[in-house]
Amino acid sequence: MGKTLAEKVWESHVVRHAEGEPDLLYIDLHLVHEVTSPQAFDGLRLAGRPVRRPDLTIATEDHNVPTEGPSVTEGALIEDLVSRTQVDTLRRNCEEFGVRLHRMGDRGQGIVHVIGPQLGLTQPGTTVVCGDSHTSTHGAFGALAFGIGTSEVEHVLATQTLPLKPFKTMAVTVEGALPEGVTAKDVILAVIAKIGTGGGQGHVIEYRGEAIRALSMEGRMTICNMSIEAGARAGMIAPDETTFAYLQGRPHAPQGADWDAAVQSWRELVTDDDATFDREVVIDASTLTPFVTWGTNPGQGLPLSASVPDPAQLTDEHERVAAERALDYMGLQAGTPLREIAVDTVFIGSCTNGRIEDLRAAAKVLQGRKVADTVRMLVVPGSVLVKQQAESEGLDEVFSAAGAQWRGAGCSMCLAMNPDKLAPGERSASTSNRNFEGRQGAGGRTHLVSPEVAAATAVVGRLAAPADLQPVGA
């Protein structure tokens, strides 16, 4: 019987298989950041072990870094003591164990899931792990990419292998072409709303179909990034010409004859025609529209044209209670049109939507327009290279002229581990991936949106799509 893409990558990495035991898989790339690595390095130290493959391990500072102020512009110490300790600990660990680290201020620094692809480290058919749930992002290249816990981080540091339990396979096929103005973010928010936050549990999702094939690599990363929000272990997209074109010439991509050989083998990385999936979901792309969340999990989303749902109409008891609680936390009334929800903060950034195409899309909406007086808008590039690219295209000037704040690279307001936070009761439209209670700051309220919707929302002051805006100059 044929094999799925995920099964092919898995099987090519098994270094030990024994009946009734997890397979031991070889890991090609281990990404490290400051939050989930300290105890792992402590464990190595205690056991007197080195890092087995420092050359396959790469670290960056992202979650705890401020995105403005002297620590960004002048290399001053991070003011917050907890954040400073985390970052300093990573620096000491990387120094001691010989791991490459992209520190604040380096050209290569940025969010862990932005820098791997950007450097050409993330390649088709590889296994990629990181102590971070959004490692699924790298699956956009046809890599099998998992988030792991801190004890697993230690295992990979020590052995470059990882015991993994078998997974189930799921296909999400998005058929047809996306309508004008509908983005990768809208697709994945719609997928999660359809299958639920537990819908992918235990599965590796492969995204397929014409609408997925038509996406750029960055759009594909946005989709795979949020697989974890559907409960999946990983998300994948088979590599194709788009993938190869993105990778070619990147610092760590193969070169010359090696490149040709690599592309030839990468072409094999497709699900066989006669392979079967444990579960299949089909979505008609033509039915999709800009999508926003109204609740406190990423599955509580609806088309922007809809209204806040009435929990009383939900038949599932669990869903009803969750919706009631979400509306209470979010300060929303059932029946309110989503377009009437006013926000005070707009955040563009994160490993979901902090890449150059996201910034271009937002700048295109803001060009010649102004952010509403009632809104503060943060635009945070996912990496220093994204920042430099954006500046070379003049995007920073578009953002600044519109009244948005142009920041340094990092996770920023995606999660409240650095100074970029919502105050209690504040409401954001955010291009990040999680809208949990307190995610962007205690008491903060988050609506997940695409960069285009975020930018239009900043202009209007209420949830809006670019199509809702007056033409510039009108």
Per CB under 6 A, residues contacting ligand IPM are 35-36, 63, 132-134, 147, 415
- CB 293 within 8 Å of CB 318: no
Cα dihedral: 22, 24, 28, 34 (round 10): 60
Among residues 134 and 421, whose Cβ is nearest to ligand SF4? 134
Of 134, 140, 304, 145, nearest to 219 by C-alpha is 140
* Helical H segments across 62-111, by residue range: 70-73, 81-97
DSSP SS3 for 258? helix
Using rule CB under 6 A, residue 63 touches ligand SF4 = yes
CB of 383 to ligand SF4, least distance (A): 11
Among residues 137 and 173, whose Cβ is nearest to ligand IPM? 137
CB of 395 to ligand IPM, least distance (A): 25
- CB 349 within 8 Å of CB 412: yes
Using rule CB under 6 A, residue 285 touches ligand SF4 = no
Using rule CB under 6 A, residue 350 touches ligand SF4 = yes
Of 467, 414, 370, nearest to 134 by C-alpha is 414
Contacts with 362 (C-beta within 8 Å, 6 or more apart), sequence order: 348, 379, 399, 451, 452, 454, 455
350 binds, options ligand IPM, ligand SF4, none, Cβ within 5 to 8 A by partner type: ligand SF4
Count of residues engaged in binding ligand SF4, rule: CB under 6 A: 13
Structure tokens at 99: 């791991």
CB of 463 to ligand IPM, least distance (A): 23
Restricted to residues 96-135, the positions that interact with ligand SF4 (CB under 6 A) are: 111, 113, 132, 134
Of 453, 466, 451, 457, nearest to 358 by C-alpha is 451
Would you put residue 301 in left (φ > 0), alpha (ψ -120 to 50) or beta? beta
How many CB atoms are closer than 10 A to CB 365? Answer: 24
Using rule CB under 6 A, residue 449 touches ligand SF4 = no
111 binds, options ligand IPM, ligand SF4, none, Cβ within 5 to 8 A by partner type: ligand SF4
CB of 13 to ligand SF4, least distance (A): 24
Among residues 126 and 350, whose Cβ is nearest to ligand SF4? 350
Is 94 a known ligand-binding residue?
Answer: no
Per the listing, tokens 């006013």 go with: 342
432 binds, options ligand SF4, ligand IPM, none, Cβ within 5 to 8 A by partner type: ligand SF4
Structure tokens at 158: 């020590």
Among residues 123 and 350, whose Cβ is nearest to ligand SF4? 350
Of 132, 10, 121, nearest to 56 by C-alpha is 121
Cα–Cα separations (whole angstroms), residue 134 to 107, 178, 326, 432 = 22, 25, 24, 11
Give 3-state DSSP helix, strand, coil % of the chain, rounded to 5: 40, 20, 45
DSSP SS3 for 275? coil
Selected from 432, 435, 446, 450, the binder of ligand SF4 by CB under 6 A is 432
Using rule CB under 6 A, residue 448 touches ligand SF4 = no
447 binds, options ligand SF4, ligand IPM, none, Cβ within 5 to 8 A by partner type: none
Per the listing, tokens 């971070």 go with: 132
d(CA 196, CA 185): 16
CB of 118 to ligand IPM, least distance (A): 18
Is 224 a known ligand-binding residue?
Answer: no
d(CA 96, CA 174): 47
Among residues 139 and 311, whose Cβ is nearest to ligand SF4? 139
The count of residues in the chain is: 474
409 binds, options ligand IPM, ligand SF4, none, Cβ within 5 to 8 A by partner type: none
Among residues 35 and 171, whose Cβ is nearest to ligand IPM? 35
297 binds, options ligand IPM, ligand SF4, none, Cβ within 5 to 8 A by partner type: none
Is 414 a known ligand-binding residue?
Answer: yes
Restricted to residues 385-424, the positions that interact with ligand SF4 (CB under 6 A) are: 411, 414-415
DSSP β-bridge partners for residue 462: 342
CB of 245 to ligand IPM, least distance (A): 29
Selected from 160, 433, 440, 446, the binder of ligand SF4 by CB under 6 A is 433
Judged by the rule CB under 6 A, the positions of this chain that interact with ligand SF4 are 62-63, 111, 113, 132, 134, 350-351, 411, 414-415, 432-433
Annotated binding site: 351, 411, 414
Annotated binding site for [4Fe-4S] cluster: 351, 411, 414
